Structure 1
């Protein structure tokens, strides 16, 4: 049966057969669909979370405390005890010992099953106790019958989808699915080659995909469980290698498809009046010189824009490395050639910041050519918005700066050639797919430059950004002062407030970022308002401002203008100031409840200070638990912040702590994330997949197409977003 056929109806247990049918689809089938299990191959690739060993019976005398065992025993006593709490106590015996079963939740049917004299197969954890050995809420079935020959899989599930049904569905799908090899001859991954070599020397077996999946769904009882749990077993390695290959094939196919499209050729042209090109005029009016890294990256982008192949480039650099001026240079190249450019940012504050900067740099230069910089934002007045839309459609607006409003249906560009997306990972997948369609609606593919202040570790760039060219600004402009980072327990908050007073008295400005409460924007606002009141009372004579996501755009703009202009000493904010805000006089950043923030976000917030000549500091206020400590990954994040200010090292540690799914955020909404491979440990498999993908696309296109369809189905588009 083809790999993309849907799972057939399963024989149901009597209780399942009576399940309500809605629109011809049973509740069980709906639950499968909720997990994305719609094809036989989806079920075959739905691998167990863990395993239970039901292949052997253990005598009670041989069972150790803390061990999960399966016993066969006879019920010798059964009573419901009301004190100290309602519970069912059952005494069972085998030929070697006695054990008590304890149930705090039970029904009359349990008492019937556990009647005196019943012979049962019981599985649970053996514990010692005051009353002797016992099991709490073990699983039960009638004694006798053949023991399974393999470990019993426990699958990821959802409400209303019992394990027995899921096991049958997976088993049936494995029987039907086409798992014929899609790898070219001799192209086994490194793990498979090692496994085959070991097998030839009397060691492990070489696994095909069919054998690997059969083994992982039903592993032999003598397997070393740790190799299944850490996914180092050769069967796991085969699955991970094939998953990485599917991702690389999809990404590299996307790059090739883009290579067949045509974009505007944006070469530097000499003006008719002999005046210098726009990008040279920009460099002449800037109050600073570009760094060597900025010039290098500028040349890489200019070379792309001079080609008819659409640019698809990621520009990454640490906080404050000067990505915006590089983007402005790229915009100049497009505008100089007579085309339009769009610059899109994820928030109105960042879009406003870009607009103000571009207006200051470019408006005087464009005015001499009869062109303008336009602004588009969600909160614009109708009259202003209509005027901007007219400028864009006529082409008089050479540069359009805005939020996602730039891609709305009523926006009509005259001749858009370059789109620049700042903090591109902050846009949802649906928005990015909409942007690509919007940009190409005139039949010519625009060049695309994406910027990120969150450096992408190499393995991540090789994997999730394999369809992109990557430019890195690896040098900070001169004059940036190092930022001292201090970890301070929130019990010393009064000392921090006193330090704020001293900073403001010295003519400096301070950010105070309120704790992040993901569950409720309203609670975020409550925290920010309470903190604003507290600091206002503690700092008499100091202007303390408040900025949060629910404020109208005009009010946000007014608050930022006061802070940027130096009339406001302290700005209390939620995370809306995470990126883009640039106030050189701000020298202290206080982040309250820093343990609640992600590492990348902490680094971004810290980058709001140290932008001027004054010595700057970032204070991470953290709350401790009852033992006076910060727990788990929060402790790792805070330690990383204190130990390094290098954005690339921060990104590497962030990837280790969170994994690629959380690190990339919304980029991979649409379930295109790696499910099995781990970029921290599987780089040899990634290198293999990266090298094999172009060979398959060139020499074995049918195998490549089958491989991608098997692993990604219709999700490949999300990897191109």
Structure 2
């Protein structure tokens, strides 16, 4: 029977360090310089240094608190070492007369020089010749154990080159005294980064600009691009229904009927994107397209036209949204547009959500299974096992980054019994910067609606301190008196749902008291579905003047008469979220404004990140520019949502600074797959292991 793993081995597994290559790619957070000894007389106050000294006194004091005080002398000066927590073994190590190597921060005090909790070991053996790595770790995984495990892994791991012969990433050049030398190989880069020479410029290691870092980033980006291209090739071998309207249909196709009855004309961008989607749907290969456009660009009508093409060809379509409010908005809009057109054929639009009553749900499930529901709209409920489509051909996912990998894969499996996969159209109102689309969405075709419909009113953005709250409430009163409607959004307080709720409830009470003539509503995530629906109906219908809400109204809510958006504690929101919220106003003809109400810290200042976000909101209404700045501020993690399923698939590369490496990897990946498939397979296995599937969902 195998021995149970030790706590350190369990910790390694928890960190995902199961293969030799995983350990080899587990790089230091920082380095300590243990290659030199600094005389105490030369040590600057506040500097972290290593000294070699002899213990002259050692005692445990019990007052004012239990502590170990050790006095040492290196021949040039003396220093006191102070430990508030210590073990009996340390008392032996630091006995009087012991010769020690001590590393810590030197501080000058009233009683002389001092180090608090320095690292101490016996002074024997030669000094190391390389900087000492300090690795990301956990409490049960000591640095010495991790260093030994990594050193062993570096010897055992296969670090042979997986790049094609003669190929090297750009910018990877080592500059020596005689000009450029040969680029680092993967093995050289890893050995260097685990044990850099003491004379290396630490700044180039910390900011990852050193050529050894460049090599790793280039290889990582190449693995990602190869995985995405493999996914694209694998999908090109799958089959999907060909969605074309029959030539001899008795009536005009639904697509043409919908266009004829819309009260507005499509913009040129909408027409272009509709054409791109139509071309995809007419092919026997599954569409995998991301439709992005700014807030209010008209993505829903393009999705409706795509659904019409599926229904014209005699197939079903599903539209899934992340929240019930957003799904209901889509449902109401699509029922209004499509039910009159579907009535003649006896088909209809069905609704599925988690909050449905059993009888209503059973009726909807029967409609879906029989095929009488030509279009199914809902939340996560659409992908549950008991939902059986007769012939699902097109799946539309709104705000796709809010869904997990498993949920998207589940929707794609709904046609598996027929040996096919449905076409997939993913929509995002958070525009995705080009570098992000090139990396994480390299396996997708991307359509962009890059113009807004005519008649959209520009939104004026104002930044107002919370101390001027009374002025904002007076502005609300004026808007309501003029027949306009107002949103007041309270922040989500992640630490406590109860706090979050009390904040919104207190604001609701405050505004109700300040606006006695107006109906002030409250909307938050813990309300029953029926109550949420009733509140939204009152606001959409115009009876409610002010809606106090948490961020549940972030996307999809469309009330043209709402002309003022107040975002309380705007400094707590992400940039994309602020832009989404701002897009809830300016949907009608009235002049619209968004007030960012911010609170400062105790010293009366805003944090640097919050200040950058709010400045960006003031300077631009362009969603793509907002997205670019958001990527700079936050990094890619939150753009991608659960696509990564908790794993940061880019650990080393930085999309904001490594665009040249990304371009190189993007160009090389298809060549490698075509000309060096074995090298490509080894490269992906080395870098991604089992994570490659997350990139393909």
Q: TM-score range by the shorter chain?
A: over 0.9
Q: CA deviation at 1:315?
A: 0.3
Task: Please give the TM-score of this superposition, normalised by the length of structure 1.
Answer: 0.94
SS at match of 2:103: strand
1:11 maps to none
2:198 maps to: 221
Select 2:231's aligned residue among 231, 241, 254: 254
Q: Distance in 1 between matches of 2:417 and 2:323?
A: 25
1:143-542 alignment to 2 at 5 Å? 143-192=123-172, 194-195=173-174, 198=175, 201-270=178-247, 272-273=249-250, 275-542=251-518
Separation (CA, whole Å) in 2 of partners of 1:574 and 1:597? 12
Deviates more, 1:416-425 or 1:62-71: 62-71
Deviations 1:259-287 (A, max 9, x none): 111111112434532x3221111111111
Q: Contact 2:322/2:399 (CA < 8 Å) preserved in 1?
A: yes
Q: Which residue number corresponds to residue 5 of structure 1?
A: none
1:680-706 CA deviation, whole Å, 9 max, x = no partner?
111111111101100110011111111
Rounded to whole Å, the distance in 2 between the matches of 1:107 and 1:710 is 42
Structure 1 residue 29: Cα displacement = 1.2
Query: What SS does the corresponding residue of 2:636 show, helix, strand or coil?
Result: helix
Unaligned runs of 5+ in 2: none
Bigger shift: residues 489-498 or 697-706: 489-498
Deviation at 1:93, TM superposition (A): 1.3
The CA deviation at 1:108 is: 4.7
SS at match of 1:133: strand
Q: Distance in 2 between matches of 1:200 and 1:128?
A: 40
Which sits farther off after the overlay, 64-73 or 113-122?
113-122
Q: Specify the alignment match of 1:6 in structure 2.
A: none
> In structure 1, what is the equivalent of residue 572 of structure 2?
596
Structure 1 position 104, deviation (Å): 3.0
Q: Supply the distance in 2 between the matched residues of 1:681 and 1:341 (Cα, whole angstroms).
A: 41
Structure-2 residue corresponding to 1:8:
none
Following superposition, the deviation at residue 191 of structure 1 comes to 2.7
Deviations 1:101-139 (A, max 9, x none): 222333454444333322211001122233332222110
Aligned 8 A contact 1:55 1:147 in 2:
yes
Counterpart for residue 128 of structure 1: 108
Counterpart contact for 2:392–2:414, Cα < 8 Å: no
Q: 1:73 aligns with which of 53, 75, 88?
A: 53
| SS of residue paired to 2:418 | coil
CA-to-aligned-CA distance 1:130-159 (integer Å, 9 cap, x gap): 333222211001122111121111111123
What's the counterpart of residue 13 of structure 1? none
**Residue of structure 2 in register with 1:117 after alignment:** 97
Deviation at 1:61, TM superposition (A): 1.9
1:199 is displaced (CA, Å) by: 6.0
Offset, 1:642? 1.2
Could you tell me which residue of structure 2 aligns to residue 618 of structure 1? 594
In the alignment, does 2:636 pair up with 1:660? Answer: yes
In 1, distance between residues paired with 2:565 and 2:400? Answer: 25
Cα distance in 2, alignment partners of residues 315 and 366 from structure 1:
25
Deviations 1:610-634 (A, max 9, x none): 1111111111111111111111211
**Is the contact made by 1:672 and 1:712 (CA closer than 8 Å) also made in structure 2?**
no
Change (3 A) 1:281 1:712: same
- For 1:658 and 1:23, the matched residues in 2 are separated by 44
1:607 alignment partner in structure 2: 583
Deviation for aligned residue 1:493: 1.3
Which residue of 513, 528, 538 maps to 1:552?
528
Q: Distance in 2 between matches of 1:662 and 1:587?
A: 29
Q: Does 1:26 pair with 2:13? A: no
Q: Give the structure 1 partner of residue 651 of structure 2.
A: 675
**What is the CA-CA distance between 1:639 and the residue it aligns to?**
1.1
Shift of residue 515, structure 1, vs aligned partner = 1.9
Candidates 5, 12, 22, aligned match of 1:42: 22
Task: After superposing the two structures, state which structure 1 stretch, 591-600 or 79-88, moved more.
Answer: 79-88
Q: Structure 1 residue 523: deviation in Å?
A: 2.1
Instruction: Name the CA shift for 1:618/1:78 in 2 (closer, same or farther; >3 Å).
Output: same
- Give me the whole-angstrom Cα distance separating, in 2, the residues matched to 1:200 and 1:260: 53
Tell me, in whole angstroms, the C-alpha distance in 2 between the residues paired with 1:66 and 1:592: 42
The equivalent of 2:606 in structure 1 is 630
Secondary structure in 1 matching 2:263: coil
Alpha-carbon distance between aligned partners in 1 of 2:211 and 2:36, rounded to the nearest angstrom: 25
Name the CA distance, whole Å, in 2 between partners of 1:59 and 1:595.
Answer: 48
Confirm or deny: 8 A CA contact 1:672 1:719 kept in the other structure. Answer: no
Contact persistence 1:268–1:336 (CA under 8 A): yes
Alpha-carbon contact 1:672-1:715 (below 8 Å) kept: no
Q: Does structure 2 retain, via aligned residues, the 8 Å contact 1:429–1:670?
A: no
1:47 is displaced (CA, Å) by 0.6
Q: Note if contact 1:199-1:205 (Cα within 8 Å) is conserved in structure 2.
A: no
Q: Deviations over 1:502-521 (max 9, x none)?
A: 11111011111112211222
Q: Is the 8 A contact 2:29 2:136 kept in 1?
A: yes
1:449 CA drift (Å):
0.4
In the TM superposition, what is the alpha-carbon distance from 1:202 to its structure 2 partner? 4.5
User: Does the CA contact (< 8 Å) of 1:271 and 1:277 recur in 2?
Assistant: no
Count the aligned residue pairs. 697
Are the aligned partners of 2:405 and 2:645 in contact in 1 as well (CA < 8 Å)? yes
Of 700-709 and 204-213, the range deviating more from structure 2 = 204-213
Tell me, yes or no, if structure 1 residue 96 matches structure 2 residue 76: yes
Q: Distance in 1 between matches of 2:109 and 2:415?
A: 70
